[in-house]
Every structure is written in C-alpha cells, then in structure tokens.
Structure 1
Amino acid sequence: MKPTLLILAAGMASRYGSMKQVDGFGPNGETIIDYSIYDAIKAGFGKVSFIIREEFADNFKAIFEPKLKGRIETDYVFQSFDLKPFGIDKTIERAKPWGTAHAVLAARNQINEPFCVINADDFYGYDSFEKMAKFLTTEVKDDTYSLIGYQIDRTLSDYGSVSRGVCKVNDEGNMVEINERTEVYFKEDGSVAYKDTTGEHDLPSDTRVSMNFWGFTPAVFKQSEEMFRTFVDANENNPKSEFFIPLVADELIKAGTASFKVIPTGSKWFGVTYKEDKPIVQKSISDLVANGTYPANLWD
C-alpha cells in the first residue's frame, strides 16, 4: 500500500498578509506545495490529502485538481471548530482552530494507510520525501514513528532569528525529547546559537531540528484523541493554546507508547514566514531549476 502525504494548509497565513499556501514561487507560478507534491509522487506516495478550512476548498481544488489529475489521488480534510466529533460536548469561541495535532486528527476517518505530515509553506527537498517513503513502506509500525531531522544550519534565515524544535537524539537514532527554542540565529562568525532567559548558548551546526515532517500509522489517531480531549479541558479558557504534533510525540515517548526515529537529511530547508522571504525562496527554486533538479515547468 502506497503511503499518503498529508499537507497542513489550514493556517490563516496572517503574518504573510495573503494566502501564502497558494502564492507562486516557481518560474511558472508554482506554489511551494507543488514542489512537495512533485517530490512525493517521484518518491512513491499514492495519495495527497490537503487539510484546509472548508471555505478554501473551491480555491484549492481550482488550483490543484487540473494539474494533479491522473498523477496522484487527491483528498480534502476539513479542520473546523466543531468539537462534537471528538466527543466534546461544548462550544469554545476561538479565532483559529486547535493546532497541528488537531488538524491531523481531523483526517482520522479518511486515512487508513501509513502517512506523513508536512507544512504547506515549507520546502523540504526530494531527499526527505524519498527517505520518508522508504520508512513508511518498510519500517513504520504502530509503536515506531519518525520525523525528518534537518541540520540546524541548513534551516536558518540570514534575516534574523527563528524558532526551531531542537531534537535530542539517543545512540539508537531515536528522539528523546524536543525543545522549542524561540530565538535561534547565525552568529557573526557563521556558527549557530540560541538565546533564552539565561543568555546565549551555542549549538553544534549539525544539531537536528524538526521542521514538522512526521511519519505515522493510523494508530496515532486513537493514541492522540484522548490527549486532545484532556488538552481542550485544560485550555478551554486559553484561546491561543494549540495542540501541536510535538506535544503528542513527547507524550507518546514519555509513556513508552511509541518511539520516533530521527531520519537525517542533508536537504536545505526553506520557508516563507514574511513577505521579505519570498525573493529568497524564488531564487533558491530558480537555482534548483537551473541545475536540473526540477523541470522549468513542473507539470508539463
């Protein structure tokens, strides 16, 4: 059974000022999602599921259906504010849904095969999809999950500090814990550091970080549903709280329910957080087209 690619695309993209998930970055207006799907098809994925807000469905279908028809099966998962499907009989007013792990849970009735989760607005590189496809077809089990571990110095911006989920990895190559560092940056000498309340701390440049590229079996839906109910109970008066995938991973590791293999990649990650990032991403993609990694017109 071919694995499924689940794309988190329900975000409001408020910092970007527009629907960055459908903004064009390639030479013919290709979106970042286009490159992820292209790499996933090449790596052997059989279906792509978009997690979106229902009101974006027509927009997404108009953009993606014509080019993906006959290439890969497509499916749409809607993330909403309705808690009743999760057995929570209350209405909680919020500006946005409950975060990435809640988005994954929204797909629980539509995915029956091993799958991976990625962000819509992140460029991951073919190597990552190839390694994840191999893991999902040969190694994944209900107690053995994975994430792609990027080298920290291949994920930073030249334009200021970023937040990164820094992975602590044991000798077996499994994640022991993940720590969110909110201010990671290049120092003047090109080395990497982060700042917290206790000051500046150096990080080895090959430290592995999570860029939200996770591999699971459908067992994760049952494993995380009870966690979600507990989370909602604890956070119903906290409208900005979010149920993130690393929270689920952390609980599964601590409970001994599942291990997470950190799959190392040398791929360069790039993403779009702010408008200023757009020309940098366009240049990176144009270089990859120039060196033959991608065709000039992705879907011709």
Structure 2
Amino acid sequence: MQPTLLILAAGMASRYGSLKQIQKFGPSGETIIDYSIYDAIRAGFGKIVFIIRENFAEEFKEIFEPKLKGRVETAYVFQDINAFVNGHEVPADRTKPWGTAHAVMCAKDAINEPFAVINADDFYGRDAFEKMAAFLQNECNDKTYSLVGYELGKTVSEHGSVSRGVCAVDSNSNLTGINERTKISLENGKIVADEGDTKLELAPETPVSMNFFGFAPSVFGISEKLFDQFLAQNASNPKSEFFIPLVADQFISKGMGEIKVLPTSAQWFGVTYKEDAPGVQASLSALVNKGEYPDNLWK
C-alpha cells in the first residue's frame, strides 16, 4: 500500500495575507510545496492530503489541481476550530486554530494508511522523502512511528534566531524526547541556544525535528484522547496550541510505542525571515543545475 503525505497548510493564509502571494522560488515559479510534492511522488507516496482553511479552499485548489491532476490522488481537509472539542467551550476571542496535532486529527476521515506529515513552507529534500517512504512501507505500525532527524547545522538561519525541536536519541535510534529550544542562532561560527541566563553551545550534527513525522492511523485515536485532556487544562487560554511533539512525547513516555529517528543528510531550508528568500532561491537553482530537479517540475 502506498503511503499518504499530509501537508499542513492551514496557517498559510494568515502568514501570506493572500494565497496569490505564495512565494515562487523555483525557476518556473514553483513554490516550496511543489518541491515537496514532487519528491513525495517520486519516493512512492500515492496520495496528497492538504489541510487548509475552508475560506481559501477554492483559491488553493486552483493553484494545485491543474499541476497534480492525473499524477497523484489529492484530498482537501479543513481545520475547523470546533472539530473534536467534545463539549469543551471554545473561547469567543479565539481566532487561531488549535495547532499542528489538531490539524492532523482533522484528516482522520481522509487517511486509512501509514502517512507522513510535513509543514507547507519547509523544503525537506529528496533523501528525507525516500527514507520516510521506505519506513512507512516496511516498518510503520501501531507501535512504531518515525521522525526525520535533520542535522542542526543544516537548519539554522544567518538572519536571526530559529526555534528547533532538539532530539534526544538512544543507541537504537529511538527518540527519547524533544526539547523545544526557541532561540538558536549562529554566533562567531558556533551554534548557540539562548537559555535566558546561559548560552548553550550545540554541535552542528545534533539531530533536530523539522516536523516531518511518520504515523500509522492509530495516531488519530491517541491524539483525540490527549486533545481532550489538553482542552480540559488549556481551553480558556486563547494562545494555547496542541502540537505534534506533545503527542509524540506522550506516545513515548506512556509506553505506547517507539519513534524511530531517521537520519538524513538533506539540507533543509525555509523562509523564517524575509532575508532568507534569496538564499532559498539560490539553493534551488543550484539543485536544478546539478540535475536533482528539472527546471520545470510539472511540464
């Protein structure tokens, strides 16, 4: 059975103002999502599910359907703030959705096979998709999930600090914890995490999560129970969010199973800062020139 790729794109409209402005980075106007989908199809994924907001569904489909028709199955799922709240009161002043793990839950009816989750605006690289596809086809089950571990040095920005999930990994390549460090930056050629009073130097090869997870459909039921507990404690906080690492952490710590860290040599890139954009464009041009990608993905 071919695995599915779930793309988290519900936050995009708010960040870009309008979908018409989704940035074009490739030589033929490709967005970062185009490269992820292209890599996923050639790695063996059989279906692409987009999580979007309902108010820009038509605009979104107009962008992606003409490119993907006949190449891969697609489905569109809406992240609705009232989904799965199970009787909990949603604060009237809450406008933002409940976070990435809630977005995943909203795809429950569209996915019945092992699947991967990615962010819409991150470039993950061919190697990462190939490793994930092999895991989902051969190893994934209700007790074994996965996460692509990037080398920290390949995920930092020269233009300011970034937030990264620093992974603790045991000798069997299983995840033992994710520590969200919110201020990681380059200082005099070293990678430093700002911990308030102290600065912690991190090795460039430290594995970090860029939200590229591999799950079996059993994650939906696990997430629903955890979301119920989350709302009992956090529903009244308008800024609280239910994130995927929270589900991953509970899955491991409660002994439900293990999460394999799949190491990749791929260079991650994304646009954390406006100033990152020319670098992303240059990196993609270099990959096209090397023959890793055609100069027009969907021709």
Give 2:178's aligned amino acid: I
For residues 173-215 of structure 1, what are the alpha-carbon distances to aligned partners after superposition, in whole Å with 9 as ceiling and x for unaligned? 0110100111112221x23221102311111111000000000
- Counterpart residue number, 2:180: 180
Q: CA deviation at 1:272?
A: 1.2
Contact 2:152-2:207 at 8 Å conserved across structures: yes
C-alpha deviations, 1:84-126, integer Å up to 9, x for none?
x452353333121000000000011110000000000000000
Q: Spell out, residue by residue over 1:135-180, the C-alpha distance to the aligned partner (whole angstroms, 9 max, x if none).
A: 0000001010000000000000111211110000011101101001
Equivalent in the alignment of 1:2: 2
| Equivalent residues in 2 for 1:1-300, closer than 5 Å | 1-12=1-12, 14=14, 18-19=18-19, 22-83=22-83, 85-93=84-92, 94-188=94-188, 190-300=189-299
CA contact (8 A) 2:114 2:217 kept: yes
User: In structure 2, how many angstroms separate the alpha carbons of the residues matched to 1:154 and 1:274?
Assistant: 16
Give the aligned residue type for 2:264. T
- Give secondary structure in 2 for the equivalent of 1:149: strand
SS at match of 1:74: strand
Pairwise CA distance, 1:17: 5.2
C-alpha deviation, 1:55, in angstroms: 1.1
Post-superposition CA distance 1:267-298 (Å, at most 9, x none)? 00000123222211111111111111110111
CA-CA distance at 1:15 after TM superposition: 5.2
Task: Decide whether aligned partners of structure 1 residues 15 and 57 sit closer, same or farther in structure 2, where only a CA change above 3 A counts.
Answer: closer
Relative distance call for 1:183 and 1:20 in structure 2 (3 A) is farther
State how far apart, in whole Å, the 2-side matches of 1:22 and 1:6 are. Answer: 19
User: Percent identity of the aligned residues?
Assistant: 61
Give structure 1 stretches of 5+ with no counterpart: none
Unaligned runs of 5+ in 2: none
Note if contact 1:21-1:33 (Cα within 8 Å) is conserved in structure 2. Answer: no
The CA distance in 2 between the partners of 1:131 and 1:86, in whole Å, is 35
Amino acid at match of 2:231: V
Secondary structure of 1:206's aligned partner: coil
Q: CA deviation at 1:18?
A: 5.0
The 10-residue stretch of structure 1 (13-22 or 53-62) with the greater mean CA deviation from structure 2 = 13-22
Deviation sequence 1:55-75 (CA, Å, 0-9, x none): 111111101101101110000
Read off the aligned partner of 1:258 and give its amino acid letter.
G
| Per-residue deviation, 1:24 | 1.1
Contact residue 25 and residue 31 of structure 1 kept, 8 A: yes
Which letter does structure 2 place at the counterpart of 1:205? P
Distance 2:250 2:21 in 1: 30
> What RMSD, in angstroms, separates the aligned Cα atoms of the two structures?
1.5
Q: TM-score, normalised by structure 1?
A: 0.96
For 2:165 and 2:20, the matched residues in 1 are separated by 22
Counterpart AA for 1:183:
K
Distance 2:191 2:274 in 1: 24
The number of aligned residues is: 298
CA distance in 2, matches of 1:170, 1:46: 32
The Cα shift of 1:233 comes to: 1.7
